[in-house]
Amino acid sequence: MKRDYYDVLGVDRGADTGEVRKAFRQLARQFHPDVNPDDPEAEARFKELAEAYEVLSNDQSRAAYDRYGFEGLRGQPVPDFSQFGFADLFDVFFGGDPFGSVLRSATGGGAWGASAMAGSPRGEDVELGLEVDFVEAVFGATKEVTFTSDVTCEACQGSGAKPGTGRETCPQCHGSGRMREVSSLGGFGQFVRTSTCNVCRGQGTIVREPCTDCRGTGRMRAERSVQVELPAGIDHGQRLRLSGEGGAGGPGARPGDLYVLVVVRPDKLFRRDGDDLVYRLDLTMVDAALGLRTVVPALDGDIDLKLPAGSQPGDVKVFRNRGVPVLHGYGRGDLRVVLNVTVPRHLTDEQRELLRRFEETSTDENYKPDEGFLDKLRAAFRQ
């Protein structure tokens, strides 16, 4: 027993074509073959919906159905979907790719994506590399990037129509951007499908006199510059997305996005370890043994450093909050100063003699580790 087409779609008898289409799309997406693999009930339900939609979205068959019910449809182009595979049938109604986007927006909780059905192409995404100094990445900076992409045609303001003229409603699809096509399917009779209008390519409007500058596309290639705000704490290899800063879209369509891959030039003095900065302080064997006052050139101002007598290679001095600002967060990492004790080379005879005399006077006490040696060792291995 066939169900009433209006009941199937859940619309009342006065519903206009737009409401019928909306109801069909909303219901149909619940029965997408990817969502319901191998569910015979979903397939049957979808075919029922498709049939109801085909009849009610066609003025002629709908009038016949309204007057005489199912009886009235004899001799009308009513499709028989029973012969079609589920996935194929979906393709017929929605095309491959557009439905992909629509399904994503549907599962994402958004509205049925009207833009996914629009024919005007979204602008291209542009990806480029931006080389920056170490300090710029640590503290943030404003940089300018220059590249070639599609831009909105100035002459026609992106409409594609010759200046002084405008876009007109597409005579083929009357502005809907969609077309109904009737095709013969051999033994199955006729099959009616909707598809993107091939005159306006789904835009719903056409241009009588194209703009001569852009040949009707509304876009042209041009070099342009964009300011890029580097957030403090960004690191080598990270990517920034500047929404809408890519290439211009076709008439009425969104621009693409700009992706900036950050390439950080290495610094001569500092190395980064996440949010920490690492600085290697070279000092002589004698300075390490006797102790030393020195200055560490931190990125944001020098730091006085007093090293005690008996400082050891690999000792680490930690300066809290003198490292890299946390990206999109609060606070900063640390500056770690690692001691690198250098041993003299190319000694003169006199120096050799002095070191021998020193060695003769030294005892085990000179080389006894301090308390906390293990802590220092651990700190060193954080490198």
Residues that bind Zn ion (CB under 5 A): 153, 155-156, 170, 172-173, 197, 199-200, 211, 213-214
Residue with smaller CB distance to Zn ion, 118 or 192: 118
Question: What does the block give as tokens for 243?
Answer: 């929404």
The answer to whether the CB of 161 falls within 8 A of the CB of 207 is: yes
Question: What does the block give as tokens for 22?
Answer: 């909306």
The answer to whether the CB of 126 falls within 8 A of the CB of 149 is: yes
Question: What does the block give as tokens for 99?
Answer: 């439905």
Question: What does the block give as tokens for 36?
Answer: 């319901």
Amino acid 214 reads C
Residue with smaller CB distance to Zn ion, 167 or 332: 167
Residue with smaller CB distance to Zn ion, 50 or 200: 200
Residue with smaller CB distance to Zn ion, 154 or 375: 154
How many CB atoms neighbour CB 21 within 10 A?
18
Residue with smaller CB distance to Zn ion, 192 or 211: 211
Distance CA 196, CA 203 (A): 9
Residue with smaller CB distance to Zn ion, 131 or 168: 168
Report in angstroms how near the CB of residue 82 gets to Zn ion at its nearest. 32
Distance CA 333, CA 276 (A): 5
Residues 6+ apart with CB under 8 A from 266: 134
Report in angstroms how near the CB of residue 92 gets to Zn ion at its nearest. 19
Report in angstroms how near the CB of residue 125 gets to Zn ion at its nearest. 22
How many CB atoms neighbour CB 264 within 10 A?
21
Residue with smaller CB distance to Zn ion, 108 or 164: 164
Report in angstroms how near the CB of residue 80 gets to Zn ion at its nearest. 29
Report in angstroms how near the CB of residue 117 gets to Zn ion at its nearest. 13
The answer to whether the CB of 298 falls within 8 A of the CB of 336 is: no
Report in angstroms how near the CB of residue 21 gets to Zn ion at its nearest. 16
Report in angstroms how near the CB of residue 172 gets to Zn ion at its nearest. 4
The answer to whether the CB of 380 falls within 8 A of the CB of 315 is: yes
Residue with smaller CB distance to Zn ion, 131 or 209: 209
Distance CA 47, CA 246 (A): 41
Report in angstroms how near the CB of residue 177 gets to Zn ion at its nearest. 6
Residue 243 CA neighbour count, 13 Å, CB half: 0
Distance CA 206, CA 216 (A): 9
Neighbour-count burial of 82, counting CB atoms closer than 10 A to its CB (0-12 exposed, 13-18 middle, 19+ buried): exposed
Longest CA–CA separation in the chain, Å? 120
Question: What does the block give as tokens for 47?
Answer: 């075919």
Residue with smaller CB distance to Zn ion, 169 or 243: 169
Question: What does the block give as tokens for 121?
Answer: 């192409």
Distance CA 57, CA 182 (A): 13
Report in angstroms how near the CB of residue 69 gets to Zn ion at its nearest. 34
Residue with smaller CB distance to Zn ion, 28 or 173: 173
Report in angstroms how near the CB of residue 102 gets to Zn ion at its nearest. 20
Distance CA 35, CA 201 (A): 29
